[in-house]
Structure 1
Amino acid sequence: MRLAFVASHTSVAQEARHALVERYGEVPPAEAEVIVALGGDGFMLRTLHTYRALEVPVYGMKLGQVGFLMNKYRAEDLPGRIAKAHAAVLHPLEMHTVDVAGVERKALAFNEVSLIRQSNQAAHLEVKLDGEVKLPVLVCDGVLVATPAGSTAYNLSAYGPILPLDANVLALTPISAFRPRRWRGAILPHRTEVSLRILDPGKRPVSATADFHEMRDVLRVDVRQAEGRGVSLLFDPEHNLEQRILDEQFAQD
């Protein structure tokens, strides 16, 4: 099995990478059958962004603080584990922003797109779904659009719903909504285009972030699922991503 090994910059991840290369050999990512990522969830997201165009499956092993997207680290019989692994296809979101200077930018997000106020003033946002205004004014600290894989991350911390991986839906979740007071978000069909317009960008500036790509002083943000850009993430059968998402709904901590 042709394996490529990538690791976060921590000493423990780099030492593990060296040991695995010594044991199994390695090839460049472009020539690999599987890319093995060593680190935490943040490093996994960067790996998916860096190598998604190669269309090579990624198998992660946890050597970081958070490892929801990772398997347990074990050096023994790595090719055998990968051969038995279950694939979960992650479909990213595409974020298109226009800032107050008229500059347009795009970025992808495998977890979520989030809008956050940049000042002590609450953000005032207009929310459109497929071109139809659903909330003329949302007063909040922010709002996010999360994929099923990302629904257990920032979305869960903001009291958004956990989404089954194969549900073909997205979560639209407010962050500390002040008005409408009773609005707790929505579950949307995965093909919904979400358009968020900042109503008072001069007095109430807002930033937009797709995973770790941040755009400041945005005026409008459009979010939709990126077509034809799925990435395969591999999981050990006993801890596949669908089961993890289900178990997270019954977590006790």
Structure 2
Amino acid sequence: GEIFGFLGPNGAGKTTAIRCMMDFIRPTATRLSSSKSCEIKLFGINSTAANFHLSREKIGYLIPAANLVGSWNGKDHFSYKESLFGKSKNLSDLIQRFDFNPKLKVKTLSTGNQQKLGLILALMNEPKLLIMDEPTVGLDPILQEEFYKILREFSAKDVAVFMSSHNLPEVEKICSRVAMIKSGKIVSVQKISALEGKKLHTVRVTFAEKVAENELADKDVEIIDQIDGGYILAVKHEIDPFIKKLAKFKIESISISQANLEEIFMEFYK
């Protein structure tokens, strides 16, 4: 029932990783060795195995808008999926909650309504795992909140959710853990609560006399900007040792603020 976030800037490799998970494309090698092949297993079955369809039957996958059939309407898409996976028990409820008109052809739908259709298709057959790439693109704030509510309801029923996003507030709001990806490589996997507890401070300080950068910077202190008479610095871990270091200088002004979650995340992408 975990809601797991897959966070990274555009181009980091999120969509490619998800396409590999679904066996739409196949990984050829790890970064460690070109002689080693990557292996992805869902529900214990390798994604490249002949019987991977047994895993796919348990997965609700958010279909990209480009893969919807333009000449079909929503009803056509729902009927096709039910022909493959059986009658949906929650389809009517999802249509109502997403305020979706299933009679309109896909090619006439806005980006937001195409996204609604993709989400309903992913959610309509009681999956055990949801895999979603940027699921709230095109949704207005009210529908985003409704979508988060639906995800929490699925999570409470022990449905696992794997969702990619470049939207930090979204990940912070809905996910319990997050993997951060940079240039195709996972740089960290963290609990959101653990990230929120990390020590990172921003210090703005001015001095009565000139102080050189090398007198302040060290492995835990980074100079972000130079200002009139001083600096803006980022201080990792505990702030007290840096304050003691500052005590030997003549300080005119100083302000200290704890970094927000976005600033903490950005540390992983430097």
- TM-score of the aligned structures, taking structure 1 as reference length: 0.29
Max radius of gyration: which structure? 2
The structure that is strand-richer by fraction is: 1
